[in-house]
């Protein structure tokens, strides 16, 4: 009885996995991660306008928190992004203020982006 219950559970899980993987759009899982198209409805890449603040914390390695302003660049999303040529379209318009947290453990050769958030406000000066 137990083995048939386990087998039935396995069939249900496998069926759900096949349906979910074959769907044209991913079925969102409650509380799960969702993939976002970073360039949907956009014509140009964003670029860093100004570094606002940098903090560091020494732990088993070093944690960095970098706050910066971004704005729309001159590079269309149809081209390859290049930090040397993708210049700000305007230095007067701040599209967003973002914060990136990075952990660096040099002796293990690990550098990892641990969080990235943006406040989501467009401001013109």
**CATH number of the domain within which 48 lies:** 3.10.450.10
User: What is the count of structural domains for the chain?
Assistant: 1
**17 within a domain of the structure (yes/no):** no
> Rounded to two decimals, what is the model's pTM?
0.62
- 106 within domain boundaries: yes
pLDDT, tens digit, 9 for 90 and up, residues 81-120: 888 888 998 888 888 899 999 999 999 999 999 999 988 7
The pLDDT value recorded for residue 2 is 47
User: What is the domain range of residue 48?
Assistant: 44-124
Report in angstroms the alpha-carbon separations of 124 from 5, 41, 68, 94, 107: 62, 21, 16, 6, 43
pLDDT tens-digit profile of 9-48?
Answer: 444 344 444 444 444 555 666 777 666 666 677 899 999 9
């Amino acid at each position: 009885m137990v083995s048939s219950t386990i087998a039935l559970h396995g069939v249900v899980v496998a069926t759900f996995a096949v349906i979910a993987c074959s769907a044209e759009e991913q079925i969102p899982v409650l509380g799960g991660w969702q993939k976002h198209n970073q360039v949907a409805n956009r014509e140009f890449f964003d670029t860093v306008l100004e570094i606002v603040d940098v903090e560091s914390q020494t732990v088993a390695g070093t944690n960095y928190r970098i706050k910066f302003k971004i704005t729309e660049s001159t590079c269309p999303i149809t081209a390859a992004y290049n930090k040397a040529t993708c210049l700000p379209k305007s230095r007067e318009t701040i599209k967003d203020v973002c914060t990136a947290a990075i952990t660096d453990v040099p002796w293990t050769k690990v550098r990892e982006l641990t969080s990235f958030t943006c406040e989501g406000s467009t401001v013109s000066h």
